[in-house]
Structure 1
Amino acid sequence: MSEAVRAEAPGAQAHMSYEVKDGIGLITLNRPDKLNAWTGEMEKGVKRAVGAAAKDDKVRVIVLTGAGRGFCAGADMNLLQSIEPEGGRRNIVSKEEEEAVDLSYDHGPSVIEHFHGRFGYLFECPKPVIGAVNGACAGLGLVVSLFCDLRFASEEAKFTTSFAQRGLVAEHGIAWLLPRLIGSAHALDLLMSARKIDGREAARLGLVNQAFPADEFMEEVMAYARHMAANVSPRSMAVMKRQVYKSLFQDFNQSTDMADKEMQASFKSADFKEGVAHFVEKRSAHFTGR
C-alpha cells in the first residue's frame, strides 16, 4: 500500500484537504461543524486540488467527499446574506478571484467550450471524478455533486435542491444537468418542491449510481476507486469521459466519427499494447496512461 501524501490547499484555511493514496486523489470538504457549507476558500482549494490531481501521474481517480456528517449543505449562509442584488457581488468567488488550473490533455476532445461557469472544469478534468455523498447534500452542494462523473451515496444521506425555499432558481447549470440524469418530471419535482430524499431514493431515481449502508459507505467507494486505479487504462478513461460529454452536443454520426478517430489513435498507444498483453499473458495490468 502506497504512502499517503496529505496537503491542505494553500490559502484554504483548512476548509478542505487533499490526500493521495493508492492511485486516488481524495479531496475532503472540511467544515464538519457547518456540514461543510461552501465557502470561497473551499471553492478555490477544491479547484486547485483537482488541477494538481490532473497533472499527477500517481493519481488515476479523484474522489470528492465531506468530513463528518455532511457532504455539503450548500452555500455558507453568511456569504449568501452578503450578496448584493444590484451591481454588487453575486458569487462566492468573483471572476477575478477564480483559480486558473491547467487541465490540458493530449488525447480526446476538449469539452470546456460547452461547460462555462464555476464547475465546468470538473468535466474537462481528464481524470474520473467520483462524488462520495456521505451525508447532507443541499443546494450548491447538490450542484457540485452533479459535476462529478459518478456519484455514490450513503443510504442515510439527504439530498435537496433547496433553491425554491430560498427564493432562488435552478442555478449553476442544474436545470441542464438534472433532467439529463433523472428526466424532466423528476427534475421538476426535486426543483420545485425542494423536498428531501435519502440515498435510497436518489439511487432509484438515477441521481446516484448506487447507495450503500452508512457503515460500509466509504469502504465501498474507495474499493471501487481502487479498482479503477489499478485495473483500467487511465488513457481510456480520459478519452471516454470526454467522448461522452462531447457527444451530448453531437448527433449520432458526429459521435461515431469522433469514436473512429479516437479508436485509431488508441491502437498506437502503450496502454492498448499492455491491455492485449496482460490479457494474453494472464497477469495483472500495468497501465501507464500513454
Structure 2
Amino acid sequence: MTYNTLDYAVGDDGVLLLKLNRPEQLNSFTVEMANELVDAFTRASNDDAVRAVVVTGSGKAFCAGMDLTAEGNVFGLDESQWPTMDDMRARLNDPAIFEGVRDTGGRVVLSIFDCKKPVIGAINGAAVGIGATMTLPMDIRLASDKARIGFVFGRIGIVPEACSSWFLPRVVGISQALEWTYMADVFDAQEALRGRLVKAVVPHEQLLDEAMKIARRIATERSAVGIALTRQMMYRNSAQPHPLAAHQVDSLAMFYTSIGDGKEGVKAFLEKRPAQFEGKASEMPSFYPWWE
C-alpha cells in the first residue's frame, strides 16, 4: 500500500519511525489514515526487519482528532443501517458492518494491540480524541512539554472510542479514566504524567531522541521472540479471571524460549558478553497465538 497520510521509515537499527503526516491539518484523523495505519502495523508485525516502532506526528501536533470537515457522517459511518449487538458478534467482518458500522479508530487500536513489536508513542503536540486514544495500546508513552491531551468526546455528545474503555482504565485506573472522559478537558503533559498516562515529560526538542533511544535498546539488545511473547502475555493474561490461565501460557512460553534464544542468553550471561539473539518474530513457537 502507498501511504498518503503516513511516513514509514525503517532504520538499520531495526526501529520503524512511523509519522502521522498531515501537518497542515494537524495530522487530523481520516478513514484513509485509519486504513493506512492498520496496514502499517500489520506490515510491521510481519516484517523481521522491524524490531520496534516509534509513532509520532509531523509538524506541531501529534493528532488533533477526527477530521470533522468531511461530508456526510464525519466518522465514515453508514447511517442507513441500524446495527445490533448480534450483528457485531456474528457479522463483524461483513463488508456492510466492517465499512459502515465499525469504529475506524478501534480497528487501528486492534492492529496495534495485535502487533508483535513493541510500540513507543512520542506525543509531540496536541493529541485529542482519537489522537489520545490511539496511544493507549502503545507500550510506552513519552510526551513533549508542549503536548496537550484530551479525551474530549463528551464535548460533542459521543462516547470514548477506539477500545479506550478497555485500555484507559488499565493504564490510569477507573477513577482517573472516568474523570478525564466525564470532564472532556484538554490537559497539559504534566497532568498526563501525574495521571500515569505517560512515562515522562521531555523537552520538546529531545522527545524523538528519547523515544528512539528506548526503541533502539529493545531492538538491538532483546530477543524478538521473547519480546513478542511478553507483549501479548502482559496484555492478554492480565485480563484473565484467574492466574492459572497465565501459568498455562507462561509455562509454554518459558519452555520454548529456554530452548531457543534462552540458550544464547544464558551463554552470553556466563561469558559476560552481549547476547546475539537469532529468533525471529515471524517464527513464533507453535502455541502462538494461544488465544485463537
Matched, 1:259 2:262: no
- Counterpart selection for 2:6 from 16, 19, 25: 16
**1:63 and 1:97 mapped to 2: Cα distance?**
30
- Counterpart selection for 1:65 from 37, 48, 56: 56
Question: What's the CA shift for 1:198?
Answer: 1.5
SS of match in other structure, 2:134: helix
Question: What's the CA shift for 1:85?
Answer: 7.7
Question: What's the CA shift for 1:167?
Answer: 1.2
Matched, 1:142 2:137: no
**2:195 and 2:220 mapped to 1: Cα distance?**
30
**Does the CA contact (< 8 Å) of 2:78 and 2:100 recur in 1?**
no
Root-mean-square deviation (CA, aligned residues, Å) is 2.4
**1:80 and 1:167 mapped to 2: Cα distance?**
19
Distance 1:27-1:267 versus aligned 2 partners, 3 A rule: same
**Does the CA contact (< 8 Å) of 1:63 and 1:129 recur in 2?**
yes
Q: Which runs of 4+ in 1 moved over 4 A?
A: none
**2:211 and 2:97 mapped to 1: Cα distance?**
33
Question: What's the CA shift for 1:226?
Answer: 0.7
- Counterpart selection for 2:156 from 140, 150, 166: 166
Identity %: 35
Q: How many residues align?
A: 260
1:38 is aligned to 29
1:110 is aligned to none
How big is each residue's C-alpha offset from its partner over 1:75-129, in whole Å with a ceiling of 9 and x where there is no partner?
A: 1111375346842699xx972499xxxxxxxxxxxxxxxxx84421211111111
1:27 is aligned to 18
Structure 1 unmatched runs, 5+: 1-8, 99-115
- Counterpart selection for 2:80 from 82, 87, 93: 87
Structure 2 unmatched runs, 5+: 84-95, 281-292
**Does the CA contact (< 8 Å) of 1:27 and 1:46 recur in 2?**
no
**2:78 and 2:8 mapped to 1: Cα distance?**
35
**Does the CA contact (< 8 Å) of 1:123 and 1:149 recur in 2?**
no
**Does the CA contact (< 8 Å) of 2:38 and 2:108 recur in 1?**
no
**Does the CA contact (< 8 Å) of 1:23 and 1:230 recur in 2?**
yes
Q: What amino acid does structure 2 have at the position aligned with 1:180? A: R
**2:107 and 2:38 mapped to 1: Cα distance?**
13
How big is each residue's C-alpha offset from its partner over 1:176-195, in whole Å with a ceiling of 9 and x where there is no partner?
A: 21111111221111101111
Q: What amino acid does structure 2 have at the position aligned with 1:142? A: A
How big is each residue's C-alpha offset from its partner over 1:195-253, in whole Å with a ceiling of 9 and x where there is no partner?
A: 12212221221111222111211111111111111111111110011111221332112
When the two structures are superposed, what TM-score results if normalisation uses the length of structure 2? 0.82
**Does the CA contact (< 8 Å) of 2:19 and 2:56 recur in 1?**
yes
**2:150 and 2:26 mapped to 1: Cα distance?**
14
**1:80 and 1:176 mapped to 2: Cα distance?**
30
Question: What's the CA shift for 1:289?
Answer: 2.3
